[in-house]
Amino acid sequence: MHNLPPLVELRAFDAVARHMSFKKAALELCVTPTAISHQIRLLEHYCGCALFRRRPRPLALTDAGARLFPAIRDGLEVFATAIAAVKRDSDQQPLRVTTTNAFASRWLVPRLSEWRKLHPDVPLEVIGTDTVLDLQAGEGDVAIRYATGRAVPTGGIVDDLLRDTFWPVYNPRLLSTGQLRRPVDLAEHVLIHSYWSPADLEPPTWQRWLAAAQRRWREVPEFKNMQHLSFREELHAIEAVIAGQGIGIFSDALVAPELAAGTLVKAFKLSLPGYRFYVIRRPGHPRERTIRIFSEWLRSATLKSRS
């Protein structure tokens, strides 16, 4: 590769040659006329000859400057055209959003029609996975992750999104009486479970809920004496409860539509602390503006769901 002077000096020369004015070139490039003059002198020093005749006025190109101007002008136009094409192609690529399968299916996907109405020119690719993808390595563009308590996720720029609570819920068709009145009534029903990683130190499970219930009520059935149905996937556990196969403990954010419609109802006035959800992006992402717009839309969707 041939040695070239800095691009800033070539841009300054192009602007001055087009306007035949240091002042107008400075206005175009948002610098001072003194800075433009300095950049032109550096380029002239690099070329070993004068590129402009400054006296007598008006400003004019020397023979060397006249030979150089078309090449720099055309070269900068080629650069601009190529960069615009690359940027256009990049903007047309889907924005890759990674989150858990449950959050993607139960919270994000039902709201995507609203995103498409507002931003039809920004397609999304939703990557539903319980594996934490590496944004720094380019495995995704933006992530929606959750953590308990003060354990804020790391690995990028983190913005707060929402917080949930876990409630025992059931399909009211499950009961002839219409509702569970006492914790002891749980002994007559199946407890629905979903898998929680051993890394979760305080998962919202039936064991934890029953332990909390025993501190509030006298008659609480023993976990080991009850009927159980377990699922690896949280989505399957939710579907089992909606189908009336038992009682489960789920995030009020994930079953909000069913709670609002009465398809599911809360059992007892005892809940377990949930998680905080965060939007995460890597600093300096080339599509940072688009990601910021998406993050703002997520927060507005959260506020709308609470109203």
Domain ranges of the chain: 7-92, 95-162+276-306, 164-273
Q: Do domains 95-162+276-306 and 164-273 have the same CATH topology?
A: yes
pLDDT number for residue 131: 87
pLDDT number for residue 197: 85
Alpha carbon separation from 254 to 98, 103, 109, 239 (Å, rounded): 17, 7, 11, 12
Burial of residue 254 (number of CB atoms within 10 Å: 0-12, 13-18, 19+): buried
Query: Buried b vs exposed e over 148-176: b needs ≥16 C-beta within 10 Å?
Result: eeeeebeebbbeebbebebbbbbbeebbe
Query: Buried b vs exposed e over 5-34: b needs ≥16 C-beta within 10 Å?
Result: eeeebbbbbbbbbeeebbeebbebbebeee
pLDDT number for residue 86: 67
Burial of residue 83 (number of CB atoms within 10 Å: 0-12, 13-18, 19+): exposed
Query: Mean pLDDT of residues grouped by 10 in the chain (307 residues)?
Result: 82 94 93 94 92 87 93 87 67 86 95 93 91 88 85 82 95 76 89 90 92 92 93 96 96 95 93 93 88 93 79
pLDDT number for residue 214: 93
State both tokens at 11.
């841009």
95-162+276-306 topology per CATH: D-Maltodextrin-Binding Protein; domain 2 (3.40.190)
State both tokens at 232.
């690896």
- Residue owning tokens 């009465």: 262
pLDDT number for residue 89: 57
pLDDT number for residue 132: 87
- Domain covering 7-92 assigned CATH 1.10.10.10 in the classification: yes
pLDDT number for residue 43: 93
Cβ pair 142, 97 in contact under 8 A: yes
Q: What is the pTM of this model?
A: 0.70
pLDDT number for residue 82: 74
Q: Identify the CATH number of the domain defined by range 164-273.
A: 3.40.190.10
What residues are paired with 160 via a beta bridge?
A: 278
Burial of residue 277 (number of CB atoms within 10 Å: 0-12, 13-18, 19+): buried
CA distance 75 to 78: 5
CA distance 10 to 78: 14
Burial of residue 182 (number of CB atoms within 10 Å: 0-12, 13-18, 19+): exposed
